[in-house]
Structure 1
Amino acid sequence: MTRIDFHILSCTGFNEAAHYVCRLTEKAWAAGHSVLIYCDEDWLQGLDEHLWSFRPDAFVPHHPLSDGETRVNLTCSEDCGGHHDVLISLAHQQPPHFSRFNRLIEVVFEAPELKAAKRAHYRFYQERGYPLQNQRV
């Protein structure tokens, strides 16, 4: 069964949340995991740029899933490619095919529409009996 964690950030903006997602992705990648980052279409380019520049000494090889599959991909579509290890979601929409992943991390920050969407995701998972963890960051 998929392990689902909600990482609840105290920040209010996308840039701070993107920085957190980059650090989380780097940590998972360094531990040997493959990572798919699922986000809204208007955030895809920003996350891509953040992954290249969030720290001067960081290097997380990645690209959009539409350009081919690697250990770290970003997507805003329902296509998950062959990924099944770690899914990080910063999207308003519930991640498609989340149940094929070993772990799902739902990232929440202080944006009213996003918080409302993530609450709906939480209820959905809870009603289906998934073990849920909350982590305030």
Structure 2
Amino acid sequence: MTEIAFHFNAPDKVTYACRVARKLLRQGQRLVIRTPLALMDPLDAMLWNMAPQDFVAHCRLGDAPELLQASPIVLAHDDACELPHRQVLLNLEGGVPPGFGSFERLIEVVVADDEADRAAARVRWRHYVQRGYALVRHDLAQGV
């Protein structure tokens, strides 16, 4: 069963996604970042412009198949049916990501000062609980 963790009180989704991507890449894990189209370009740019020692290789869903296979991190904004790996899914969108159950882990990111984002997270939380998933809560404001 997919391990699901909610990371609450993130300063913003793009910066936090970059931090998670860097950490998972260092651990040798593969990641799909599901993002709204409006965040795709800022996220892509921030990943490319991190410090040289923090280089985070990535590509976008829809790139050449060889690139998708070689990239440890894939940015996606539509259904994740053609992904080359299903290790970790980082959800930056407001809804339950389609196919989340085929991933080993799901990380839900919730922004600190965004009531709409918090309300959407509560809906997703209930969705997972109703389906029998045990959820882990990480409060980033407390450093936990």
Query: With structure 2 as the length reference, what TM-score do the two structures score?
Result: 0.86
State the 1:129 CA deviation.
Answer: 0.8
Letter in 1 for 2:100: F
Q: Give the match for residue 39 of structure 2.
A: 43
Q: Give the match for residue 117 of structure 1.
A: 120
Letter in 1 for 2:84: G
CA distance in 1, matches of 2:61, 2:13: 21
State the 1:52 CA deviation.
Answer: 1.4
State the 1:30 CA deviation.
Answer: 1.3
CA distance in 2, matches of 1:9, 1:57: 27
CA distance in 2, matches of 1:28, 1:35: 7
Letter in 1 for 2:128: Y
| Distance change (3 Å), C-alpha of 1:114 and 1:91 | same
| CA shift digits 1:42-67 (9 cap, x unpaired) | 11111111111244531010011111
The alignment partner of 1:66 has SS state of coil
Unmatched runs of 5 consecutive residues or more in structure 1: none
Shift >4 Å, 4+ stretches: none
| Distance change (3 Å), C-alpha of 1:100 and 1:57 | same
Q: Give the match for residue 105 of structure 2.
A: 103
CA distance in 1, matches of 2:31, 2:10: 24
CA distance in 1, matches of 2:51, 2:14: 12
Aligned identity (percent) is: 35
**Which has the larger Rg?**
2
